[in-house]
Chain A
Amino acid sequence: MKGMTVIVKTISSWIKVLIFMFGIYIVITGHLTPGGGFAGGIILASSYVLLMLAFGRKFVEENLPLAAASRLDCLGAFLFAVIAILGMVLGGSFFVNFLYQKYLPGEPLSLISAGTIPLSNIAIGLKVSASLFLVILTLSIFRPDISADKKEQN
């Protein structure tokens, strides 16, 4: 995959920023408006997919290598599990919303409210974006060499 024409490349490099910002917005306001970690994470992933379609696979791989994406994936899942375990340590039970109940109740409908819910949204957004990017990248890297395999069969 070599990528597309200059026009497409220029436009998509601009649009990419917009999509990325929009994804982050969806993630961090997930507890107030529709959206949340999953939708936002997929939007973040699709900004990279757009880059991949426009510039080709190589370009994206240089920016965010496979190994780094895999680490981000693990990190997101791990952070979410850590929030759960912190609930157990600080709040007395698995998944207690300890921030809201004990430390930081916040104003309803403001950005900083709802305790661990925005944090969980961020962790999930990170996890989902990294893992979906990883899937698309893995699927596009895989080039089946069918002819060689058929020869082997015969």
Chain B
Amino acid sequence: MLYALCFLLFMIGLYCAVVKKNMVKIVIGIMIMEYAVNLFLIMLGYRVGGVAPIVTRDQLGSTLGQVLPTFINTSVDPLPQALVLTAIVISLGSLALMISICIRTYQRYGTFDITEIRRLKG
């Protein structure tokens, strides 16, 4: 059910990116889609009653580098977190590039409305 709500968020973003005619609104739609995917990925790794995947001092075993089973059996999945970290930074980068294209286009055309930005045809 939570997954489906996440998918609903994704679809709201897609709707915004496809239907809206304001450039900034389209960018916002794409951002919402990215949020949805990130949330979804983190949810996939969640464990009921889990702990964060960071080893603390009282979870260290006796021998070097060994971790207690209490940690192994409760830690959430670290891999999706690593992926989301990457995905967040990627989305920040594409946001910066998109906004600079928007601003430059605004300077050229004097509008954010893509129905008025129509020099190319066919």
Interface residues on B, range: 10 to 19
Instruction: Report the minimal beta-carbon distance from B20 to chain A, rounded to whole angstroms.
Output: 22
Contact A139/B60 with A34-B52, A34-B54, A149-B108 known, Cβ cut-off 8 Å? no
Which residues, 52 to 97 on B, are CB-close (under 8 Å) to A?
52, 54-55, 57, 60, 64-65, 85, 89, 96
B107 touches A108 (CB 8 A): no
Closest Cβ neighbor of A138 among chain B residues: B100
Identify the stretch in A4-12, A15-23, A68-76, A140-148 within 8 Å (CB) of chain B at 4 or more residues: A140-148
Which residues, 119 to 147 on A, are CB-close (under 8 Å) to B?
128, 135, 138-139, 142, 144-146
Asked whether A98 is an interface residue with its Cβ less than 8 Å from the other chain, the reply is no
B55 touches A109 (CB 8 A): yes
Residues on B with beta carbons closer than 8 Å to the beta carbon of A32: 54
Instruction: State the majority secondary structure of interface residues on B.
Output: helix
Interface residues on A, range: 10 to 19
B96 touches A149 (CB 8 A): no
Residues on A with beta carbons closer than 8 Å to the beta carbon of B44: none
Contact A38/B89 with A33-B54, A139-B99 known, Cβ cut-off 8 Å? yes
Closest Cβ neighbor of A33 among chain B residues: B54
Taken residue by residue from 72 to 114, chain A's Cβ proximity to chain B (1 for < 8 Å, 0 otherwise) reads as 0000000000000000000000000000000000001100000
Closest Cβ neighbor of B85 among chain A residues: A38
Contact A109/B57 with A38-B85, A145-B107, A149-B110 known, Cβ cut-off 8 Å? yes
Residues on B with beta carbons closer than 8 Å to the beta carbon of A38: 85, 89
Taken residue by residue from 91 to 122, chain B's Cβ proximity to chain A (1 for < 8 Å, 0 otherwise) reads as 00000100110011011101000000000000
B64 touches A108 (CB 8 A): yes
B103 touches A139 (CB 8 A): yes
Cβ-defined partner of A146 (8 Å) among B52, B55, B64, B110: B110
Instruction: Report the minimal beta-carbon distance from A66 to chain B, rounded to whole angstroms.
Output: 15
A144 touches B64 (CB 8 A): no
CA distance A110 to B100 in the complex (A): 42
Instruction: Report the minimal beta-carbon distance from B77 to chain A, rounded to whole angstroms.
Output: 16
A144 touches B54 (CB 8 A): no
Instruction: Report the minimal beta-carbon distance from B24 to chain A, rounded to whole angstroms.
Output: 14
Contact A109/B60 with A34-B52, A38-B85, A138-B100 known, Cβ cut-off 8 Å? yes
List 9 contacting pairs A-B, 8 Å CB cutoff, sorted by A. A34-B52, A38-B89, A109-B60, A128-B89, A142-B100, A142-B104, A144-B106, A144-B107, A146-B107
